[in-house]
Amino acid sequence: MKRRKHLTALLLVLTLVVTSLLAGCKKNDTADTSGEATTTPTVEATTPEPTEEPTPEPTEAATTESQDAATVAASLPREETLYFSGQQWGAINDYNPFSSNSNNWWIEQNDDARVMVYETLFMYNQNDGKLYGLLADSYEQKDKEFTVKLKPAAKWSDGTPVTADDVVYTFDAHKRLNTAQGSQFAPYIDSVKAVDPQTVVFTASSENYNPLKVLEVFPKVFIVNKAQMSKLEADNGNDADKIKTAKNENLIASGPYKPYYDDETKVVVVRDDNYWGQDASMWGKLPAPKYLAHNIFIDNNAGAVAFEKGEVDVSQQFMSEVWKMWEDGKPVSTYLDDAPYYACVTLPTAIFNVTKPGLDQAAVRKALAMATDYEQIATTAMSGYTPLMSDAPPALMNPTDPERALIDEAQLKDLQWKGKQIDEAKALLDKAGIKDADGDGIREYDGKNIAFTVQCPSGWTDWNSALEMVAAAGQAIGLDVTTLWTTAAEWTTNRLTGNFDVIMNSYPGASISNPWTRCYQTMYSTPAKEGQNADWNFGRYSNPEADKIIEQIPTETDQAKLKALYTQLNKIYLTDVPAFALMYRPGLFHTVNESVWTGFPQADDGTNVPPTVLTDGYGIAGLYNLTLVK
């Protein structure tokens, strides 16, 4: 592995230096569906085996909890601190899991929540597409009921047990307060009820029955302490707006770390040495670093400079030509040894507004997809951090094994494009009768030149570069395609209202509900008309057959039938081309510097820890494998 080569070289250099010295001296979005799910077996939580390496003992330089946090944070013991970059920009707003504006590094509740302080029922692992137990041991689905068993060992930071009442309160509060998360899951979960202190039953909606949207909340929603958050509600007069914007500084959580210090320059959490996860039913020990710290850099360049110096251990930010660091002998590595270096799970996509004349023709849409030079996008826009289309041919699926296993690639082969197919694209347009009749170099449809813009926000350099190549491809096949850069706010408004010809957007990456959610958001018919906000399917594409398949997928439990459904849906996508992905992008840029810490997860190390920078979902398992560089 690249890492071992670097460390071996580093140790050799150090050995030579030491020898020399001694010689001289001394990092509502679902379809309405129907039908009953069949009973599925109990899903047991997967508990990682404790590693042999002991957790480093605190050094004499470590400070006690009674000392002033600001003083300690100004100079954290390096051998006890793991530094991050690329996940916190600006000061924290709050510590409130009901807030939608926390701007808080450790409180992100995406499809794969960050579980350093607050914890979820399960953790998602993008490597294998499975849920791993955290606060919960297992779940069992029978018809519309999902029975979740909690870990008896799970405790809050105040030593009280995590119970089913806490879980019920969490979901009821999100719905009652109409939080961002509550509005997302409310249509799909009718009720959450406690059976006993360790058992919770989630009942899915009959009207909007979608098991995937129920499972989606398990690794996404932080479970909160009922007693503490109920008091927060009362202290804020039970006013929903005040509750959702409360700072919540005196929080009680269940995770391995707790808030320690933050200001406009740094965010620090400190290990809770009483963390319940030392129990044999979970990790069996404490995470190695005592402190997790994130300096707030002014921009990417400042973070990259600090990372290269070894002042940052784990970086989640774009750094061009990262391989030059290890070529220069620095102890830097990525999750994958070779290109694309990172695990790519998102699909930045060009979306066609199919209501526009010319773009309502599938031949035009597919011709543009065929003519685009994806290899140039990969090398120029993405610095090589994306698989080539030859390695992951076009589809609605990301390049990961769990998603690609859901389609029959052989059945799609003849429909997939390779890119830079200028002659084939021209032939497709000619066959459809879309030709340059007046000799001005631009093809016409219904007597008018086919002219349109491709847009995204100004300054989004990888997207800007990619769309410039799309425009060049259009010009090469006789379409008058130009770029349009907007502000981020204008791009958002245009995307929602349909005020675009072609617009870039990035659909959800890896999660327990994907690729279904991505398929839904790309192709499921929206009721929104032009000028009205569309919450999904921004291009207003509509196909009854695709709708029917999308409605069937969440309730299909037979794997062979599920694969057939996804394969057919991808055939429709590749034929009608309502959108086309321009690249596969890393969900997170997982780059590590092993000047201080080693043992970071890599794709081939046998740990199955995903490249989610030791913070998101099952990626936190990597914190338990770290050791100090000797």
Mean pLDDT of 128-154: 97
Fold of the domain spanning 43-48+80-316+589-628: D-Maltodextrin-Binding Protein; domain 2 (3.40.190)
Using one digit for the tens of pLDDT, what is the confidence trace for 408-428? 999 999 999 999 999 999 999
pLDDT single digits (tens) 489-538: 999 999 999 999 999 999 888 999 999 999 999 999 999 887 899 999 99
pLDDT > 90? residue 9: no
Considering only 40-49, 203-212, 431-440, 556-565, which range has the smallest mean pLDDT?
40-49
Question: What is d(CA 23, CA 15) in angstroms, rounded to the nearest whole number?
Answer: 12
Q: Which residues contact 459 (CB under 8 A, 6 or more apart)?
A: 485
Q: Sketch the domain layout of the chain as residue ranges.
A: 43-48+80-316+589-628, 344-586
Q: If 0-12 CB within 10 Å is exposed, 13-18 middle and 19+ buried, where does residue 183 land?
A: middle
Crossing angle (nearest 10°) for helices 544-552 and 559-576: 150
**Do residues 84 and 293 lie in contact, with contact meaning Cβ atoms separated by under 8 Å?**
yes
Give the CATH H-level superfamily of domain 344-586.
Answer: Dipeptide-binding Protein; Domain 3 (3.10.105.10)
Q: What is the reported pLDDT for 12?
A: 33
The number of C-alpha atoms within 13 Å of 491 and in the hemisphere containing its C-beta is 21
Separation CA 159–CA 335 (nearest Å): 37
Return the pLDDT at 58.
41
Residue of 36, 466, 133, 99 lying closest to 249 (CA atoms): 99
Whole-angstrom distance, CA of residue 454 vs CA of residue 368: 12
Across the range 156-171, mean pLDDT stands at: 98
For the chain, percent of residues with pLDDT exceeding 70? 89
Compute the distance between CA of residue 289 and CA of residue 183 in angstroms, rounded to an integer: 36
User: Residue 130: is its pLDDT beyond 70?
Assistant: yes
**Residue 67: band (very low, low, confident or very high) from pLDDT cuts 50, 70, 90:** low
Q: Is the pLDDT of residue 49 over 70?
A: no
pLDDT over threshold 70, residue 178: yes
What average pLDDT is seen over the chain?
A: 90
Average pLDDT over residues 587-606: 96
d(CA 207, CA 189): 10
**Contact between residue 348 and residue 585 where contact means Cβ atoms under 8 Å apart:** yes
Q: What is the pLDDT of residue 428?
A: 98
pLDDT band with cut points at 50, 70 and 90 for residue 165:
very high
Residue 485 burial class via C-beta count within 10 angstroms: exposed 0-12, middle 13-18, buried 19 and up: middle
Helix or strand holding residue 189 (H, E) = strand 189-196
Do the domains 43-48+80-316+589-628 and 344-586 sit in the same CATH topology, yes or no? Answer: no
222 pLDDT more than 50: yes
Listing DSSP states for 283-323 in one string gives TSS--S-SEEEEE--SSHHHHHHHHHTTS-SEE-S--TTTH
3-state secondary structure of 204: strand
The answer to whether 625 touches 51, Cβ cutoff 8 Å, is yes
pLDDT tens digit string along 450-484? 999 999 999 999 999 999 999 999 999 999 999 99
Phi, psi of 266, rounded to the nearest 5 degrees: -160, 150
42 vs 546, more confident:
546
Residue 30 has pLDDT above 90, yes or no: no
Q: Distance between CA 314 and CA 398 in Å, rounded?
A: 24
How many Cα neighbours within 13 Å face the side chain of 416?
A: 19
pLDDT tens for residues 348-392? Answer: 999 999 999 999 999 999 999 999 999 999 999 999 999 988 899
Task: Supply 233's token pair.
Answer: 């509600």
pLDDT at 1 over 60: no
Write out pLDDT tens, residues 70-95: 788 788 999 999 999 999 999 999 99
Task: Give me the pLDDT at residue 309, please.
Answer: 96
Q: Between 14 and 601, where is the model more confident?
A: 601
pLDDT average, residue stretch 29-57: 38
CB 581 within 8 A of CB 348: yes
pLDDT, one tens digit per residue, over 392-410 is 999 999 999 999 999 999 9
Q: What are phi and psi of 428, to 5 degrees?
A: -65, -40
Provide DSSP, 62-120.
Answer: PPPTTS-HHHHHHT--GGGEEEEESS--S------TT-S----TT---SSS-B-SSSB-
Q: Scanning the structure block, which residue is given the tokens 């969440």?
A: 554
Q: Does the pLDDT at position 20 exceed 70?
A: no
Per-residue b or e along 382-414, where b marks 16 or more CB atoms closer than 10 Å to that residue's CB:
bbbbbbbbeebbbbbbbbbebbeebbeeeebee
Model pLDDT, residue 287 = 98
Instruction: Determine the average pLDDT of the residues in 121-145.
Output: 97
- What is the pLDDT, as a whole number, of residue 312? 98
Q: For residue 26, give every residue at least 6 positions away whose Cβ sits within 8 Å of its Cβ, in sequence order, or none.
A: none
Q: Is the bond preceding 601 in cis, omega lying within 30 degrees of 0?
A: no
| Helical (H) or strand (E) element with 27 | none
pLDDT at 21 over 90: no
Written as six digits, the tokens of 218 are 């398990």
Q: Residue 72: what pLDDT?
A: 80
State yes or no: pLDDT of 45 exceeds 80.
no
Predicted local confidence at residue 110, as pLDDT: 86
439 pLDDT more than 70: yes
Average pLDDT over residues 174-202: 97
